[in-house]
Structure 1
Amino acid sequence: MASMHGNSPKTLRQDLLAQRKQFVGSASYATTQATILANLTHFLADYDEKVQSIALYCPIQDELDLRPTLLTWAKSKADKTLALPFARPDKHLEFYTWQEADLLIPSRHGVPEPDPNNPRRSQVVPDCILIPCVGWSESTAGEKTQYWRLGYGGGYFDRTLAQLRKAKPNLLCVGIGFNWQKLNDAQWQAQTHDEPLDAMLTESGLVITY
């Protein structure tokens, strides 16, 4: 579905966002959405022991809304917490615990964010980060397959992940996307500063790098 390009990530990003808008309005979207959310529920069950805290996101620009599924998960277990990212001026993300009724403040990019000064919500380093993809790709080196995320181009995610992985080497970072968003090498290749995802969750299920 994604079309061919010269090497402009900006044009590619715009095309993918337009395609996502079209896809969300299509007849097949509801089924795809339900399948991904069911796959997310399977993932939460499979990784129950490894994952106590999950960072999610407030959906913008037709991103998949994972909040109802994750709230159900967090409410059903005593020891589980959810967190949302806060974008610092230095283009790093911090994560703060989140509950359903919390007041969120729009960032300058229009993303609803937690209030970092709320004394009742602590900063956390999550066990797992769920991150929406504008596009994604896979690359294989030897026996190892890696997954890569094309985002909005701000670099917040790569900077944050590089830092968090030093503090928490077993951090699980899962890209959320659709099969049709998968890009080939002619369309886009990850750069040296890009941080790989640990797994990719789509309507086909979870694919993970070991």
Structure 2
Amino acid sequence: MSVAEIKAKARKEAFARRKPLFERANAAQAGYLSEVLAGYRGVPLSGFMPIRTEIDPRPAMNEAAAYGAVGVPVIEAEAQPLRFARWTPDAAMVAGPFGAKVPAALEFFEPEIVIVPLLSFDRNGGRLGYGGGFYDRTLEMLRSRRATLAIGFAFAGQEVGAAPLEATDQPLDLIVTEAGVIEVG
């Protein structure tokens, strides 16, 4: 089986595993993410607007926005890195590509912390995403310019023994779940 086939199978399994986790989620699911971000007050960061059954980082993003720039990813073209538009809790939002909301007024900036959505993760910082490579290209670009912290945010039940990886996959530096913080190592 090719890596692409292994990843496709793993994505299908991960979606199925995440759905009941999402259905049981509560408003406190971003508590540990808020605690982590409190240690980086004022550092420009990007969260994400949850789609499908993703865990919701917005409560932590709301808190962080009181101290510094917070943004969300914007897909501009296939096979290109993401760009990040400034976001505030009261920003007018419109539909973007792939169903994720983006600010109606796009003011771009580069974050130093990127909160990354995912389908599954492992304790070595491996991440299985949706397959578009957007976050991998983006993290590679940002890390070539400055230190960039990639924080995977997911439900604890999305952990796997080993995520299927390719050479182009960018590692996570830290993983935060509703159950705690996982140091990568």
Q: What is the aligned-residue identity percentage?
A: 27
Given the alignment of the two structures, is residue 133 of structure 1 paired with residue 118 of structure 2, yes or no? yes
Check conservation: 1:85, 1:114, Cα contact below 8 A: no
Decide which structure has the larger Cα Rg and report it: 1
Once superposed, which parts of structure 1, at least 4 consecutive aligned residues long, lie more than 3 Å away?
none
Given the alignment of the two structures, is residue 58 of structure 1 paired with residue 56 of structure 2, yes or no? no
Partner of 1:12: 10
Provide Cα deviations, 1:27-74, integer angstroms capped at 9, x if missing partner: xx33xx62x4221122122333xx521101010012122212321332
Given the alignment of the two structures, is residue 157 of structure 1 paired with residue 148 of structure 2, yes or no? no
Residue 21 of structure 1 and its aligned partner are, at CA, apart by 1.5
Structure in which a larger fraction of residues adopt strand: 1
Structure 1 residues without counterparts, runs of 5 or longer: 1-6, 139-145
Q: Pick one of 72, 94, 112 that aligns with 1:84.
A: 72
Partner of 1:142: none
Given the alignment of the two structures, is residue 189 of structure 1 paired with residue 177 of structure 2, yes or no? no
Residue 209 of structure 1 and its aligned partner are, at CA, apart by 4.2
User: How far, CA to CA, are the matches of 2:87 and 2:62 in structure 1?
Assistant: 10
Alignment TM-score, normalising by the size of structure 2: 0.86
CA RMSD of aligned residues (A): 2.1
User: Would the alpha carbon gap of residues 206 and 23 (structure 1) be closer, same or farther in structure 2, given more than 3 Å must change?
Assistant: closer
Q: How many residues align?
A: 180
Residue 159 of structure 1 and its aligned partner are, at CA, apart by 0.6
Alignment TM-score, normalising by the size of structure 1: 0.77
Structure 2 residues without counterparts, runs of 5 or longer: none
Matches within 5 A, 1:62-73: 62-73=53-64
Partner of 2:94: 105
Q: Pick one of 144, 148, 152 that aligns with 1:166.
A: 144
User: How far, CA to CA, are the matches of 1:172 and 1:13 in structure 2?
Assistant: 24
Check conservation: 2:32, 2:176, Cα contact below 8 A: yes
Given the alignment of the two structures, is residue 176 of structure 1 paired with residue 161 of structure 2, yes or no? no
User: How far, CA to CA, are the matches of 2:11 and 2:69 in structure 1?
Assistant: 32
